A = this chain, B = another copy of it.
């Protein structure tokens, strides 16, 4: 059992959201460790020590983040010295590491930064290759206590490269294998019902997790065992069973965002894509352009929020807008086909819907959307109603639906 203690006033006044803990939880889980508790406390010596006491009653490992800056409000290092009855000593290797980092960044070190090279005497020091605060690893009565920086980039690097491998070695953990299958179009609760029987029949050494996100549910099968090869075989067999239950609803057999999957398919087939967005307001383009290298395949977008842009820039028929409304199958289709023509791409995707909170009618309520995708040979146009969610939620769900249709079109 592992516990996390995050140290820092900024979390307790809500200045930052603690995303570190969720990331650590995922990575520890993948490595075969269970998390018992996450505790966030102030930069306050007594409170930190109390939290450590309590955590060590329950867990074999306590991972602490934060409170390692050079300013006087950061006190984790001194507190750990008091807790373990040791003192700070100068460590030349840490200083060298900091000097290297500052050299790369072309920055100049000040006295405060140099003080980072003072570390507790009775501990293992692990170098921080991404920042100036060293990582300290204590052992006490068979238990492990690690203190590392709260800066996400630094924490992630040292967790992946140093802490998790050391923990696996220290506790001689078995091999852990994960396989993720991604499902779209079945709500989590329905999916759970359909999978109940199969889930109950899973052997004890396999574990299933549901990870839902805006219409996608990732199913992660994890297994722990001594024989990596047998484990892999057992998991692959279960994936085959899952395939026979869910069929077409599975769109990926790996843990990868759909926009990355789309990008790889486009790139390997040399196809280009454009988007024509009304209610998604550029979010499909935004999601695609977060992928490095996407400029090979993504040419551009027309966000046609006003109808005159749908007409003038995408060639949508003004008469059809008049007759069927801007949120209609006809307009979505013409937007997609217009985008493909105007931006000269092989494929295009278009959205037109009612994001709310106002603008809905009984016939076309807030949350109603038409999405169209097209290639030279084929056009698919569908309507969805995403219910009266918050505006942001509607935009994310619509974006996901559009990306899924694009993925389906590419095949």
A232 is an interface residue with CB less than 8 A from chain B? no
A303 interface neighbour in B18, B29, B282, Cβ under 8 Å: B282
Question: Do B303 and A285 have beta carbons less than 8 Å apart?
Answer: yes
Stretch at the interface among A34-42, A119-127, A142-150, A166-174: A34-42
Question: From residue 183 to 238 of chain A, which have CB atoms closer than 8 A to chain B?
Answer: 209-211
* Least CB distance, A91 to chain B, in whole angstroms: 25
A360 is an interface residue with CB less than 8 A from chain B? no
- Contact flags (1/0) for A99-136 with B, using CB distance below 8 Å? 00000000000000000000000000000000000000
Question: Do A295 and B305 have beta carbons less than 8 Å apart?
Answer: yes
In the assembled complex, the Cα of A330 lies from the Cα of B13 at a distance in Å of 45
Stretch at the interface among A75-83, A262-270, A390-398: A390-398
A403 is an interface residue with CB less than 8 A from chain B? no
- Write out the residue numbers on chain B whose beta carbons fall within 8 Å of the beta carbon of A289: 280-283, 303, 305, 355, 395
* Least CB distance, A342 to chain B, in whole angstroms: 7
Given the known A-B contacts A15-B211, A29-B13, A301-B282, are A308 and B395 also in contact in the complex, defined by CB atoms under 8 Å? no
Question: From residue 382 to 411 of chain A, which have CB atoms closer than 8 A to chain B?
Answer: 390-392, 395
Given the known A-B contacts A13-B26, A15-B209, A23-B14, are A300 and B302 also in contact in the complex, defined by CB atoms under 8 Å? yes
Question: Do B41 and A12 have beta carbons less than 8 Å apart?
Answer: no
Question: Do A13 and B309 have beta carbons less than 8 Å apart?
Answer: no
Question: Do B290 and A392 have beta carbons less than 8 Å apart?
Answer: yes
* Least CB distance, A103 to chain B, in whole angstroms: 14
A299 interface neighbour in B39, B277, B305, Cβ under 8 Å: B305
Question: Do B42 and A14 have beta carbons less than 8 Å apart?
Answer: no
* Least CB distance, A14 to chain B, in whole angstroms: 3
Question: From residue 1 to 45 of chain A, which have CB atoms closer than 8 A to chain B?
Answer: 11-19, 21-27, 29, 35-42
Question: Do A306 and B301 have beta carbons less than 8 Å apart?
Answer: no
In the assembled complex, the Cα of A306 lies from the Cα of B295 at a distance in Å of 7
* Least CB distance, A181 to chain B, in whole angstroms: 16
Question: Do A305 and B300 have beta carbons less than 8 Å apart?
Answer: yes
- Write out the residue numbers on chain B whose beta carbons fall within 8 Å of the beta carbon of A283: 282, 286, 289
In the assembled complex, the Cα of A313 lies from the Cα of B153 at a distance in Å of 38
- Write out the residue numbers on chain B whose beta carbons fall within 8 Å of the beta carbon of A390: 153
A14 interface neighbour in B22, B39, B282, Cβ under 8 Å: B22
Q: Residue among A22, A280, A288 with the most chain B CB within 10 A? A: A22
- Write out the residue numbers on chain B whose beta carbons fall within 8 Å of the beta carbon of A293: 358
Question: Do A292 and B357 have beta carbons less than 8 Å apart?
Answer: yes
Question: Do B356 and A342 have beta carbons less than 8 Å apart?
Answer: no
- Write out the residue numbers on chain B whose beta carbons fall within 8 Å of the beta carbon of A316: none
A343 is an interface residue with CB less than 8 A from chain B? yes
* Least CB distance, A23 to chain B, in whole angstroms: 7
Question: Do B39 and A38 have beta carbons less than 8 Å apart?
Answer: yes
Question: Do A308 and B356 have beta carbons less than 8 Å apart?
Answer: no
A241 is an interface residue with CB less than 8 A from chain B? no
* Least CB distance, A96 to chain B, in whole angstroms: 22
* Least CB distance, A311 to chain B, in whole angstroms: 11
In the assembled complex, the Cα of A39 lies from the Cα of B14 at a distance in Å of 14
A370 is an interface residue with CB less than 8 A from chain B? no
In the assembled complex, the Cα of A251 lies from the Cα of B58 at a distance in Å of 49
* Least CB distance, A115 to chain B, in whole angstroms: 16
A141 is an interface residue with CB less than 8 A from chain B? no
In the assembled complex, the Cα of A395 lies from the Cα of B286 at a distance in Å of 9
- Write out the residue numbers on chain B whose beta carbons fall within 8 Å of the beta carbon of A47: 36-37
- Write out the residue numbers on chain B whose beta carbons fall within 8 Å of the beta carbon of A295: 305-306
Q: Using a CB–CB distance below 8 Å, which chain A residues touch chain B?
A: 11-19, 21-27, 29, 35-42, 47, 51, 54, 153, 209-211, 275, 277, 280-286, 288-290, 292-295, 298-306, 308-309, 313, 342-344, 355-358, 390-392, 395
